[in-house]
């Protein structure tokens, strides 16, 4: 059974998860970054103050994910989606109309939590929990929703800004998404509540990943890519300068990264179903590792292109591999809890990473040295995860 069969037999559920991933674009950094200047101006913040506020609301959103994300394990997905959508719309209204900067930041926090956090959580958890034999392919297809947003929305928003103000553009996009959601909420094939709500005061029934050694050993492997790629995005000017390239080449390579994500997602999903997530967890970072070697040894334009394309291939495959691996280790009935914990850890780490890299650059480190540190982090994360992967493979066999 391939992608065609999957789309034919399960297009309703896949549409829900795909739209959730596309809707998450509203809270992603690439989308908010398109409107950074007018948002900061409306809130009365300088660029530096906006960056600090953005990091703080992102960290708060990470803590909220720890608290709210596991609820998808016992709340009916349709009710979960309605709640998140209403909170997302409230965040957009606060961000675009609030007369006080504090309310505006509250709106930004809701957009980050419900967009990047909860909508992504909904899409991936539905695909990971409701599919079994075709889980990898389902996750790969669902992941293209976010890829569509990353590829299509920046040029579309830039074109529409010629005729509309940034606030009207946000309202228009939110209205279009709402129209897309209405038929799915009314007639979509929503699954029922997967479990029962834990009784308050009784011991928690289910995993507590932060208390498990295997989670901490697996975490560096899964965080290496988002943490290091965040650093490359934030410090793109310094990277291109130190490698002997240009921002123009970087912009083209960034488009190449977007294109590379698609085969990464679709091939990664197919291989997860054929080879299993454990085996692929050992291999999927190889294109990125080779890209880091090329950038360190040769630098220049080939180095920038290698980082973006190699990173894109690995990023496209990561979600289907990571979610399938979490199901293998903790079971689908607790996927919401484990995914929420992983998402929160990634939010914290990607929030801290720019500060750590900035400090290293201020101390005089070259970007080539930083890339070598990224490669070392990748190798260490791979080595730490081997024990967990071996035990998971034994259970799989």
- The larger pLDDT score, comparing residue 254 to residue 200, is at 254
- What burial letters (b/e) apply to 344-358, b meaning 16+ CB within 10 Å? bbbbbbbbebbeebe
Check residue 238 and give its pLDDT.
87
Q: How far apart are CA 317 and CA 301, in angstroms?
A: 25
Q: Is 7's pLDDT higher than 90?
A: no
CA angle, 66 then 221 then 356, to 5° = 75
Q: What is the pLDDT of residues 223-269, one digit of tens each?
A: 999 889 888 887 888 889 999 999 889 888 888 888 899 999 999 99
Q: What is the pLDDT of residues 151-180, one digit of tens each?
A: 888 888 888 988 989 999 999 999 999 999
Query: What are the φ and ψ backbone dihedral angles of 103, each rounded to 5 degrees?
Result: -65, -35
Q: Please state which of the ranges 206-210, 281-285, 316-320, 388-392 shows the lowest mean pLDDT.
A: 206-210
Q: What is the pLDDT of residues 298-336, one digit of tens each?
A: 999 999 999 999 999 999 999 899 999 999 998 888 888
Q: How far apart are CA 103 and CA 90, in angstroms?
A: 11
Helical ranges in 188-246 per DSSP H:
213-234, 236-243
Mean pLDDT of 24-52: 84
Q: Is 30's pLDDT higher than 90?
A: no
- The larger pLDDT score, comparing residue 49 to residue 277, is at 277
pTM for this entry: 0.86
Identify the architecture of domain 1-194 in CATH: Up-down Bundle (1.20)
Q: Domain 206-397: which topology?
A: Growth Hormone; Chain: A; (1.20.1250)
- The CATH 1.20.1250.20 portion of the chain extends over 1-194, 206-397
Q: How far apart are CA 213 and CA 215, in angstroms?
A: 5
Mean pLDDT of 123-133: 89
Check residue 198 and give its pLDDT.
63
């Amino acid at each position: 059974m391939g992608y065609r069969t999957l789309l034919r037999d399960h297009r309703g559920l896949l549409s829900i998860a795909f739209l959730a991933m596309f809707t998450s674009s509203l809270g992603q950094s690439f989308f908010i970054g398109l409107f950074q200047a007018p948002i900061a101006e409306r809130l009365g913040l300088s660029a530096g103050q906006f960056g600090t506020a953005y990091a703080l609301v992102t960290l708060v959103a990470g803590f909220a994910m720890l608290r709210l994300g596991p609820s998808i394990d016992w709340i009916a997905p349709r009710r979960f989606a309605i709640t998140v959508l209403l909170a997302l719309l409230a965040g957009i209204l606060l961000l675009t109309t609030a007369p006080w900067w504090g309310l505006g930041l509250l709106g930004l926090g809701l957009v980050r939590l419900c967009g990047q956090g909860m909508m992504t959580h909904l899409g991936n958890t539905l695909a990971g929990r409701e599919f079994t034999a075709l889980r990898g392919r389902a996750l790969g297809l669902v992941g293209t929703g976010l890829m569509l947003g990353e590829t299509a929305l920046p040029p579309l928003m830039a074109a529409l800004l010629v005729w509309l103000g940034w606030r009207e553009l946000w309202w228009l996009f939110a209205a279009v998404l709402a129209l897309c959601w209405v038929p799915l909420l009314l007639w979509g094939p929503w699954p029922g509540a997967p479990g029962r709500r834990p009784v308050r005061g009784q011991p928690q029934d289910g995993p507590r990943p932060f208390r498990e050694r295997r989670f901490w050993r697996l975490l560096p492997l899964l965080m290496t890519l988002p943490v290091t790629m965040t650093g490359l995005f934030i410090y793109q000017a310094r990277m291109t300068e130190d490698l002997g390239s240009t921002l123009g080449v970087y912009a083209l390579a960034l488009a190449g990264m977007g294109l590379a994500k698609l085969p990464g997602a679709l091939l990664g999903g197919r291989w997860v179903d054929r080879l299993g997530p454990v085996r692929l967890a050992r291999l999927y970072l190889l294109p990125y590792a080779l890209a880091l070697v090329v950038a360190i040894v040769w630098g220049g334009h080939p180095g920038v292109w290698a980082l973006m394309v190699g990173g894109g291939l690995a990023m496209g495959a990561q979600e289907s591999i990571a979610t399938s691996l979490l199901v293998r280790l903790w079971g689908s009935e607790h996927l919401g809890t484990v995914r929420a914990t992983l998402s929160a850890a990634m939010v914290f780490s990607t929030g801290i990473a720019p500060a750590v890299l900035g400090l290293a650059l201020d101390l005089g480190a070259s970007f080539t040295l930083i890339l070598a540190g990224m490669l070392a982090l990748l190798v260490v994360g791979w080595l730490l995860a081997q024990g967990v992967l071996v035990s998971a493979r034994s259970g799989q066999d």
